[in-house]
Amino acid sequence: MRWPWERNDGPEPRPTKEAIPAIEHKRASTISRKSLRPQSRTISSDAAFEAAKVKHVARCAGLLRQMYALDIMIWGMENCVDAERPRREELKFQANALLKEVTVTVEGWRSMPVGYWSVEEQEVVDGISRTIAGYDKIRYHAS
């Protein structure tokens, strides 16, 4: 059996007739309920730590995307009718809350010791920090 990532150089070789009884016997003797369960994998603490850092950066980027989506909705409702003003104010509140959450996250990142981030990760963190620094603490004020 070939895995999808393996090269496919042609059809899979078939076992010879002499090998089939041995394969069937081995297959029958090794199949059990335990072998059908997915095996748990142990991840080293370093790999888990790196994965957690990546998830934090990805989550922060997702929050920024949500904030920008709210910005577009808010700007689109700039001249809305009176009945839609409460919805626009709610969107402003949500955008401010997202900005606050991203700001707190980035401030936590900036307080990490030197060497915590790789060079590439530090560039991403610095870019997000510069973006957040360009905003007021409260992005939208009640109107």
Domain assignment of residue 44, yes or no: no
What percent of the chain has pLDDT above 90?
A: 25
Does residue 19 register a pLDDT over 80? no
Taking Cα atoms as reference points, which of 121, 125, 98, 120 lies closest to residue 110?
125
**Tally of structural domains, the chain:** 1
Does residue 36 register a pLDDT over 50? no
- Model pLDDT for residues 47-103, shown as the tens digit of each residue: 787 788 888 888 888 998 999 999 999 999 999 899 999 999 999 999 999 999 999
Instruction: Provide the residue range defining the domain that includes 123.
Output: 61-133
Taking Cα atoms as reference points, which of 140, 124, 138 lies closest to residue 59?
124
143 contacts 89 by C-beta, under 8 angstroms: yes
* Pick from 30-34, 81-85, 132-136: least confident: 30-34
Domain assignment of residue 39, yes or no: no
| Three-state secondary-structure class, residue 106 | helix
Domain assignment of residue 3, yes or no: no
Domain assignment of residue 45, yes or no: no
Supply 74's token pair. Answer: 């808010």
